[in-house]
Structure 1
């Protein structure tokens, strides 16, 4: 899917004129639809084709960037519901994560804010209690930093999430929960980031 952001990319010359834009659907302004009308560079295909992980994996260095409502210390992402309220379906997230991870040099990034301002809660949680809607990402990215996950042990993943992605307001609490989940020692849960 794409929207009006494509117009800015096209105006800036950031799109390869020789490479088609392939999508299964789009949504945007009248300007987007006018740009689309008769544009031979845009290919609209069925979702079964655009979201085929095997086709996605053929793109070298494919990077998928998805978001979630919350991510836990095991790297599991919930992208669909909070407190039984459905916010979204997971759509093609899993297709693009699998495709990117099978792409030569590919990576799957999960990007979200570390703190949800409206709900006033951390988006990095000890353990998700809603359906998990994604496979493990290469890394979790928040405004706090980048927490690499893929290829790291569960304990290292938890440490990266707490130290590099979680909001500072909840790091001490997350260390305590990590200890209870067997992801950190008691000493780790009592130390500050500067003590490690």
Structure 2
């Protein structure tokens, strides 16, 4: 999903975009070839001191409180955290900055069954890569949820709204029982 998000400005009227990344990818090459990625307006190298920083990170799963697991499937390690916390914190500190966690609402197994990537809680052994206090926005194919500054109940409702429809009723029941 982050690759798709990075490609979108290549077709827009935006110009003089800047990039501050721990990992450069082919998506940024398209921006550069389109003449959009120039860093001409980049203020400084420290993320939190730049204005209007938009941090886009991928995740494995998020719970209804907005905690993110970006590195494991239960106790099985998938990756490391990398610079995700640095970019999310930088966006939080940036004047008018926004930090996004982007993920598909579900994972489809080979047999066709669905596993929700938005879960009521993390199973034992799952990593909490990013605490709920650092997550501002979560995006799935269904919409974007703004969860910063929200109560646990409001966070749960926002997360349920961007979950796959097949899971919303179950997660709403869980939220009703656990987030008074």
Give your verdict on TM over 0.5. yes
SS in structure 1 at match of 2:85: helix
Higher relative contact order (CA 8 A, sep 6+): 2
Aligned to 2:117: 123
Aligned to 1:133: 129
Aligned to 2:9: none
Matched, 1:66 2:19: no
CA contact (8 A) 1:77 1:128 kept: no
What is the distance in 2 between the residues matched to 1:17 and 1:137? Answer: 26
Q: TM-score, normalised by structure 1?
A: 0.71
The equivalences for 1:7-156 within 5 A come to 7-16=29-38, 18=40, 55-118=46-109, 120-129=114-123, 130-135=126-131, 136-156=134-154
Once the two structures are superposed, residues 99-137 of structure 1 have per-residue CA deviations (whole angstroms, 9 ceiling, x without a partner) of: 110110011101000011137200010011312101331
What is the distance in 1 between the residues matched to 2:32 and 2:83? Answer: 24
What is the distance in 2 between the residues matched to 1:122 and 1:116? Answer: 6
Larger-gyration structure (1/2) = 1
Q: TM-score, normalised by structure 2?
A: 0.77
Aligned to 1:178: 175
Q: How many residues align?
A: 150
Structure 1 gap segments, 5+ residues each: 23-49, 185-196
SS in structure 2 at match of 1:108: strand
Once the two structures are superposed, residues 136-163 of structure 1 have per-residue CA deviations (whole angstroms, 9 ceiling, x without a partner) of: 3111100011111011111111111112
SS in structure 2 at match of 1:155: helix
Structure 1 segments of 4+ aligned residues over 6 angstroms from their partners = none
What is the distance in 2 between the residues matched to 1:63 and 1:18? Answer: 17
Q: 1:4 aligns with which of 21, 26, 30?
A: 26
Give the aligned CA root-mean-square deviation in angstroms: 1.9
CA contact (8 A) 2:105 2:140 kept: yes
